[in-house]
Amino acid sequence: MTNVWFDLAEVSVGQHWYWTVGPYTVHGQVLITSWIVFAIILGISLLANSNLKSIPEGLQNVTEYITEFIRDLAKTQIGEHDYLKWVPFLGTIFLFIFVSNWSGALVPWRILELPNGELAAPTNDINTTVALALLTSVAYFYAGISKKGLGYFKRYISPAAFLLPINVLEDFTKPLSLSFRLFGNILADELVVGVLITLVPLVIPIPIMLLGLFTSAIQALVFATLAGAYIGESVEDHH
């Protein structure tokens, strides 16, 4: 089992700038862009909430809108009684993917030269999307077990015992579909824009880039919505 996880972590597409951390090799360019994304989120949060006002304005308006949006999404997907504790998780997932996707569409990473490989959005790396999907899997297992105890596993033989293999397989396909959907869409978008800029450097790539911003936001919403739906499914009461 350990070797399976190591093999999965070594999946790569394209050239990478490798860092050696102890006995491990990691994609350095993904860590760099991920830290930049974290810095952007943290910076906007500090600027918006350093001087809170009773009547919000400017960036405070934006952060409060995002908070309400995540609360509504969590409430819809998880349910009124359990959603509050999962707002921080879903909010973090949504913001990281949203800012990562937009950084790939707006920031000209490729003009920054590396010793090897090239910079790109963190979600342009399959290992990042797999990690996010596995975090989601851990979250919905934790949600179900913490609420129902070992009774959570009754769902695998509900409504009939012969559904056990299908229900187990479903839990394996959830992280796969989450990770490959996000990775495939972001990679395809960046490849299309890159090819068009090379072939037709003026005018034509602009609407494609605008479309990329829209689809990037949709992908963040889809991932957060599905994560909330999976958590909601694990905590719901079956009668």
Residues recorded for the chain: 239
Q: Residue-wise over 104-142: b if at least 16 C-beta within 10 A, else e?
A: bbeeebeeeeeeebbbbbbbbbbbbbbbbbeebbebbee
- pLDDT tens per residue across span 157-185: 777 777 788 878 888 888 888 888 888 88
Residue 95 burial class via C-beta count within 10 angstroms: exposed 0-12, middle 13-18, buried 19 and up: buried
Q: Over 50: is that where the pLDDT of 11 sits? A: no
Domain spans of the chain, in order of start: 2-235
Q: Over 90: is that where the pLDDT of 42 sits? A: yes
Give the mean model confidence (pLDDT) for residues 112-132: 80
User: Of 102 and 10, which is predicted with more confidence?
Assistant: 102
